[in-house]
């Protein structure tokens, strides 16, 4: 939500989805600490980044039959980022089975929305069978999960999250101030009248940010049937588009809407806003992940879910605005939304039909630079064969250097060759008198 619209909103609900003047007010308030009162992170409820990583790693380690964990690293201009990805497959040997539905879920794209990563942990815990499943009979649950490969990104924006934990509770951007949900290529860089760089800085170019580069490659190589970008700040079930105030047309769009209606009814107590991201909240967002997943990766079911928001929280109180602060609400959000995800796992594939029917990602977007190609290629190899990522990192650096040297020397050779030809053409007589 934009700042003017925010001011005009009586309920003053803060949508994580777009920035608010309210957050700007916090920045001003920071200079006047006496005037601010805000809720700190409740450490009895929320994991630290380090603990969450340890817990996920340990869980994967306890269930090697179901889970694998990969860490992808990327960086540029002195900025480094890494993204951990957990892959779930009920029988791990079936991970490459193309007859399965592929689901990609991302949490924590915005630093301050800590509750989303707690939901990721809860979903993984249910998948591991260490936590009780939501109300679903075991036979139905097993037959549902048998059809799926699920990739979970529990903390997409690790660097931004660390800033939040260090005390900047309103930070939503990555470690160098770019909004990772404005850094994608669909309608990138367009700014609304109430554009606020503290909230929505789209970066210097589409995919300028290492986190977005990693997510894009993950999406293109995995080619999911269902994508959910999980946020907080309000309660909503959004479908495309974010950059215009319409939803896609056609039968499948109607089916998607009815799925969202059902989720709203079953798990959101009918409180969730439903529709296009751009149309439902009354503002447009440009360069978002979900629009890219829908338009370019051709993900038939691409969603942005907003799982919690406290409209009563003061504008300075970001932790409270975006995250439940008491144990009852914390548990309610995790219970309701983990159940919602298991309903999607069941109903999504039913609606989609055969997994092979998915339209592949647009070829145009696959024309990438050598650097990007190598990274994507190596990433695909690493996920397929489970090779050590560190080795790949080193190998990638070397191969990149060799490629650059190769191109440079080829260009130089071509240049020398051409200039030699042109010289010899000038000096040689038109009819050569010299026999061989
Ligand atoms: Zn958000």
pLDDT score at 113: 98
- Average pLDDT (40-66) is 97
Q: Is the pLDDT of residue 107 over 60?
A: yes
Q: Evaluate if residue 381 carries a pLDDT over 50.
A: no
**pLDDT range class, residue 87, cuts 50, 70, 90:** very high
pLDDT in tens, 223-248: 999 999 999 999 999 999 999 999 99
Separation of CA 113 and ligand 1 centre (Å): 6
Ligand 1 centroid – CA 81 distance (Å): 19
pLDDT in tens, 151-184: 999 999 999 999 999 999 999 999 999 999 999 9
pLDDT over 70, % of the chain: 77
Q: What is the residue whose two structure tokens read 């990104």?
A: 153
134 vs 159, which has greater pLDDT? Answer: 159
Q: How confident is the model at residue 434 (pLDDT cuts 50, 70, 90)?
A: very low
Q: Compute, in angstroms, the gap from residue 83 CA to the centroid of ligand 1.
A: 17
Query: Would you say 180 and 174 are in contact if contact means Cβ atoms under 8 Å apart?
Result: yes
Least confident of 162-166, 280-284, 395-399, 423-427: 423-427
pLDDT tens digits for 1-10? 333 333 333 3
CA of 313 to the centre of ligand 1 (A): 16
Decide if pLDDT at 100 tops 50.
yes
* Phi and psi torsions of 342, nearest 5°: -70, -25
Each residue's pLDDT tens digit, 256-276: 999 999 999 999 999 999 999
- In 279-346 the beta strands, taken as DSSP E runs, fall at 301-308
The model carries a pTM of 0.78
Task: For residue 22, report the distance from its CA to the centre of ligand 1, in Å.
Answer: 15
Question: Catalytic residue numbers?
Answer: 306
**Mean pLDDT, the chain, whole residue set:** 83
* 108 vs 158: CA distance, rounded Å: 8
- Asked whether the predicted pLDDT for residue 149 surpasses 50, the reply is yes
The answer to whether residues 243 and 278 touch, using CB atoms and an 8 Å cutoff, is: yes
Q: Pairing state of beta strands 101-107 and 67-76?
A: unpaired
| 272 alpha carbon – ligand 1 mean position (Å) | 16
C-alpha distances (whole Å) from 19 to each of 6, 182, 191, 200, 306 are 9, 11, 12, 6, 15
User: From ligand 1's centre to the CA of 170, what distance in Å?
Assistant: 11
Angle between helices 389-427 and 370-385 in degrees, nearest 10: 150
Cα of 16 from ligand 1 centre, angstroms: 4
Task: Note whether 225 and 103 are within 8 A (CB).
Answer: yes
Q: Locate tokens 């990274």: which residue? A: 375
HSE, CB side, 13 Å, CA atoms: give it for residue 326. 3
Per-residue pLDDT reduced to its tens digit, 291-335: 999 999 999 999 999 999 999 999 889 999 999 999 999 999 999
For residue 400, pLDDT over 90 is answered with: no
Q: How far is CA 348 from CA 226, 302, 418, in A?
A: 8, 11, 59
Residue 244 φ/ψ region, left for φ over 0, alpha for ψ in the -120 to 50 degree band, beta for the rest: beta
Residue 16's closest CA among 127, 170, 164? 170
């Amino acid at each position: 939500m934009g700042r003017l619209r925010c001011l005009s909103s009586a309920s003053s609900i803060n949508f994580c989805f777009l920035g608010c003047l309210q957050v700007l007010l916090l920045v001003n308030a920071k200079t006047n600490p006496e005037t601010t009162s805000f809720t700190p992170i409740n450490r009895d409820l929320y994991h630290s980044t380090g603990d969450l990583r340890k817990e996920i790693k340990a869980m994967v380690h306890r269930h090697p039959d179901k889970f694998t964990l990969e860490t992808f690293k990327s960086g540029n201009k002195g900025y480094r980022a890494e993204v951990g990805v957990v892959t779930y497959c009920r029988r791990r040997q079936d991970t490459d089975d193309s007859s399965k539905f592929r689901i990609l879920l991302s949490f924590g794209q915005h630093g301050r929305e800590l509750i989303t990563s707690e939901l990721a942990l809860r979903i993984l815990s249910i998948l591991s069978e260490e936590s009780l499943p939501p109300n679903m009979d075991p036979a139905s649950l097993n037959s549902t999960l048998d059809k799926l490969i699920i990739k979970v990104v529990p903390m997409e924006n690790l660097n931004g999250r660390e800033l939040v934990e260090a005390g900047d509770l309103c930070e939503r951007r990555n470690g160098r101030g770019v909004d990772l949900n404005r850094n994608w290529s669909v309608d990138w860089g367009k700014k609304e009248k109430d554009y606020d760089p503290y909230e929505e800085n789209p970066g210097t170019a589409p995919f300028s940010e290492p986190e977005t580069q990693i997510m894009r490659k993950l999406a293109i190589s995995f080619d999911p049937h269902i994508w959910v970008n999980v946020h907080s700040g309000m309660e909503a079930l959004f479908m495309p588009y974010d950059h215009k105030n319409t939803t896609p047309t056609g039968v499948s769009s109607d089916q998607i809407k009815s799925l969202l209606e059902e989720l709203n009814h079953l798990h959101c107590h009918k409180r969730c806003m439903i529709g296009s991201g751009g149309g439902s909240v009354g503002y447009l967002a440009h360069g978002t992940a979900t629009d890219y997943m829908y338009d370019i990766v051709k993900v038939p079911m691409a969603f942005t879910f907003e799982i919690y928001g406290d409209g009563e929280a003061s504008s300075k109180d970001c932790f409270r605005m975006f995250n439940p602060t008491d144990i009852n609400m914390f548990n309610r959000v995790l219970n309701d939304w983990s159940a919602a995800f298991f309903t999607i796992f069941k109903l999504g594939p039913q609606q989609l039909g055969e997994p092979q029917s998915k339209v592949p990602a647009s070829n145009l977007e696959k024309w990438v630079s050598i650097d990007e190609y190598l990274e994507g290629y190596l990433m695909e190899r690493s996920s397929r064969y489970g090779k050590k990522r560190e080795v790949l990192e080193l190998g990638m650096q070397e191969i990149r250097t060799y490629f650059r040297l190769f191109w440079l020397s080829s260009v130089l050779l071509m240049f020398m060759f051409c200039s030699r030809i042109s010289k010899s053409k000038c000096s040689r007589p038109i009819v050569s008198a010299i026999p061989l």
